[in-house]
Amino acid sequence: MDTQSREHSRKRLVMGNWKMHGNQAANTVLLDGLCAGVTAVPNCDVAVCVPFPYLGQANASLQGSGISWGAQDVSRHEQGAYTGEVAAAMLADFGCAWVLAGHSERRAMHGETDQLVADKAAAALSAGLTPVVCVGETLDEQEAGRTKDVISRQLAPVLALGASSLARIVLAYEPVWAIGTGLTATPDQAQEVHAFIRARLAELGVPQVRILYGGSVKASNAASLFAMPDIDGALVGGASLVAEEFLRIAAA
């Protein structure tokens, strides 16, 4: 499939990652703002990944809004004696469509390995959720010219899930040095990595997989990123906590 037809076959997806922010009162303001404004962005899929305790609130507030919701992590286990973990079926029970797997903060702070991330993606798929698998290099790795090696290593167990699974996932390229730092990969830098990932997917017969970019995306830089042929949307942290800013990104 050539670049132009690829561009036309994938609707953009803009997904917020609230991280560990929010409370019921603040969430109500944010969710109401999103529901009120989302009709102005019909050409983009809009979603939010909220902390576990607020999944019920998202489920209640976003019904029928056109905005989908999800969680930020999932257990690789189906059920059982895994205190503190949350199963994919539980997320589905709260209407989740999505779950992040392998966000860099979980890889760095919770020691999540590439294989564990792939296992979590598989668990999500088994429960009918779409995993959003995050990959990305650190600043040291980027400066050492190792970006593609790192992405290849992180992707290997995910790609091993096979074409029929891959066709049901979303990938997010999030350079660690750009997350929450205000530094964004230039559109060309991001495109180069997205094209690299796309080529790997194409070899496996699934070039249509959506690949989001994440890392300090804001309304002011979203349009130039989205102009790139292999960038299918964004995973947005900080800027997803303000409804107007987040929707401006979706409108970009």
Among candidate residues 159, 237, 169, 164, the one with its CA nearest the CA of residue 196: 159
174 tagged catalytic: yes
Is residue 127 within 8 Å of residue 91, measured between CB atoms? yes
| Segment contacting ligand PEP by CB under 6 A, of 80-88, 174-182, 188-196, 220-228 | 174-182
Is residue 233 within 8 Å of residue 226, measured between CB atoms? yes
51 lies in the binding site for ligand PEP (CB under 6 A): no
Q: Which residues sit opposite 132 in a β-bridge?
A: 100, 170
102 lies in the binding site for ligand PEP (CB under 6 A): no
17 lies in the binding site for ligand PEP (CB under 6 A): yes
212 lies in the binding site for ligand PEP (CB under 6 A): no
Among 133, 215, 221, 246, binds ligand PEP (CB under 6 A): 215
In angstroms, give the least distance from the CB of 148 to ligand PEP: 20
Is residue 60 within 8 Å of residue 24, measured between CB atoms? no
194 tagged catalytic: no
Question: What is the three-class DSSP state of 109?
Answer: helix
CB atoms within 10 A of CB 1: 12
236 lies in the binding site for ligand PEP (CB under 6 A): yes
Binding stretches for ligand PEP (CB under 6 A): 17, 19, 174, 179-180, 214-217, 235-239
As annotated, the active-site residues are 103, 174
